[in-house]
Amino acid sequence: MEPSDEFAETERLTLDPVSPPGPQTLDIRFTGSGSEYFRIWIVNLLLTLVTLTLYLPFARARRMAYFQNNTLVGGDPLGFHADSWKMFRGYLLVLVLGVGYSAVSNFMPTLSWVALLVFAALWPALWRASLQFRLRNTSWRGVRLAFVGDLKSAYVAMLPFFIPALALALLMPDMSDPEAVSEEAAQQAAITVGLVVLGFTLLVPWLWARIKAYQHGGYAFAQERTTFTAGAKRFYGLSIKITGVSLLVMMGLGTVMGVLVGAMAALGMASLGDLSNLDEGAGVLLMVGAGAVLAMVYVLLPLIVGSYMTSRFQNLLWSNTHSTHIRFTSQLRLAPLMRVNIVNWVLIALTLGLYWPFAKVRSARIRLEAMSVQVDGDVDRWVSDSLQQPVGVIGDAAGDFFGIDMGL
């Protein structure tokens, strides 16, 4: 290369802007252990019982701090900065609302719809405040997360959930005196309940899509705000699949029960019309078989269907949550999750519940480590810019108006 060419090349490299970093994937890891969390859990449990649940918000704060501090995103842990006393005040507020509604429903049942209306009017605001509180008290690399969903959208998203309850309160006939209820009133009540339950069941996927669109569309970090791209159609599709899996499991368990009864009949141990004539041994065996089938229904139905619903729902939510430069992915698989759940259930039963904190840690690990964050841009620059920006007084105080975390 000639000297003039070398000088030109050097000058071009000097004047060209620095190319932005390419996409990078931030893995999520969970470093908690069952033995560590067991010590936190047992203390929380005892203090909650001794204080008649008044310690519950402090227990929740300790639990959330442990799980977030042990969640590493790209090698850096999440921080938790919530004030437990603010959570306690929020808990007292929710407790007063719940006790007030129960008192009105028991002692003044004709005014229960008023209490329900007040509760429905406050719930979206409390839910939004809870999201603001939890996100604003969570940090990564020293930068606080935020929830920026507005109050009006919270009401628009949440209030349809209360329409069925309001319809029951307005359309149900007076049933306070069972002896004075006429046959016509009883039929009207049955029809009303049936229609409301049917309508609510059909609307649940649409309502759930509205809730998650508001929640997952309001997360913010640095200059990034998320959007949620899965519509109601995806939620209806998932609901149909869950219903199909439930029916298949029930058909399988029904087949097992039919084979068991048929085998007993073939061996002369029992027949459908002669169960009263069984000898003691055959009767015990039949009871054991029926109990085993019922146990399979009780365990396998929630185990299989619950694992399927958990994995597909997590993948649907987080794989459709993204911002301009950040995209979440979730690849939670059914088989590994089901294996974890089987072991958890068995050990919880064998230890009479003492394995519960270990199970929570194992479940958190498999669910968190199935996720990752894809970032397009310089994260260090985002963090640096965010740390240099002052926090507005009004925006900072908004999340403390109620100061609660309701776990939603």
Q: What is the pLDDT of residues 196-218, one digit of tens each?
A: 888 888 889 999 999 999 999 99
- Structure tokens, 128: 């939004």
Q: Which residues contact 145 (CB under 8 A, 6 or more apart)?
A: 135, 136, 138, 139, 219, 220, 221
Domain contains 129 = no
pLDDT mean across residues, the chain: 81
Domain contains 66 = no
Domain contains 167 = no
Report if pTM > 0.85: no
SS3 call for 270? coil
Helices (H), 267-388: 280-319, 334-350, 356-368, 379-388
Strands (E), 148-296: 219-221, 224-225, 227-228
How do the pLDDT tens digits run along the chain, 408 residues long? 555 555 445 444 444 444 456 688 999 999 999 999 999 999 999 999 999 999 999 999 999 999 999 999 999 999 999 888 888 888 888 888 788 878 877 777 767 777 777 777 888 888 898 899 899 999 999 899 999 999 999 999 988 887 777 777 677 666 555 666 667 767 777 888 888 888 888 889 999 999 999 999 999 998 899 999 999 999 999 999 999 999 998 888 778 777 766 766 665 554 444 555 555 555 556 666 666 667 777 777 889 999 999 999 999 999 999 999 999 999 999 999 999 999 999 999 999 999 999 999 999 999 999 999 999 877 777 777 666 665 443 333 334 444 455 544
Domain contains 189 = no
Domain contains 285 = yes
Domain contains 266 = yes
For residue 287, the enclosing domain spans 233-295
The count of structural domains within the chain is 1
Domain contains 265 = yes
Give tens-digit pLDDT for 19-67. 456 688 999 999 999 999 999 999 999 999 999 999 999 999 999 999 9
Distance from first CA to last CA of the chain, Å, rounded? 66
Domain contains 244 = yes
